[in-house]
Chain A
Amino acid sequence: AQSVTQLGSHVSVSEGALVLLRCNYSSSVPPYLFWYVQYPNQGLQLLLKYTSAATLVKGINGFEAEFKKSETSFHLTKPSAHMSDAAEYFCAVSDIAGGYQKVTFGTGTKLQVIP
């Protein structure tokens, strides 16, 4: 079974600093990986997805992630944090199981941005 592990349930950064949210995956086949963001009282919004076309994936709001097979990682980065980036971030892996798409989410990382 595929899974993802997010290291760090809480990450605090200063406004303008680098954001790095970690995600490692476990999969026996090339995975389809996603990063979602959830703002308070809202649903999940897709930030970016990896589907094997390119190892460096650019997403919305200045975020990007790099797929590293040798490290089984898909870390999310942003060069300069904004206050509006404060939210919960979920890494996810997708597979077809029993004929339907099954998405397995990581436990989430809450990003705090300090002014």
Chain B
Amino acid sequence: DTEVTQTPKHLVMGMTNKKSLKCEQHMGHRAMYWYKQKAKKPPELMFVYSYEKLSINESVPSRFSPECPNSSLLNLHLHALQPEDSALYLCASSQEGSNQPQHFGDGTRLSIL
């Protein structure tokens, strides 16, 4: 059982659609992350939230819009995506500190038609 829950597990959308990915954790972690993972590649960091504030945006296109409504929830709003955005989107959370492991959800498999 993963302690980070992501919904939906699968999402198919057209390039003109608007959709949102959701992530929830109840471990009291104050840092939350969005990663993008293409097939046979390691995860690539997209966004970092620390204490509900956006700390890092790794030069992600504006068609991806993150939101952290509270310390347990993390959303990723999607609009006007491109076919190359098809990937597994992973959410993770951790306690503060570089010696703390990140806990990952099972991801949302996104396909852009």
Contacts and interface: CB of A to CB of B under 8 A. Distances in A.
Given A34-B101, A96-B98, A105-B42, A43 B107 contact: yes
Interface residues of B, number: 29
Contact of A32 (B42, B56, B98): B98
A102 B99 contact: no
Interface residues of A, number: 25
Given A43-B4, A43-B107, A44-B104, A108 B40 contact: yes
In the complex, the 5 A-B pairs of residues with the closest C-beta atoms, listed nearest first:
A43-B104, A105-B42, A44-B104, A51-B99, A43-B106
Contact of B55 (A44, A94, A98, A106): A98
A93 to B, nearest CB: 9
B98 A95 contact: yes
**Overall SS of chain A's interface:** strand
A90 B40 CA distance: 11
Interface of A: 32, 34, 36, 41-46, 49, 51, 90, 94-96, 98-103, 105-108
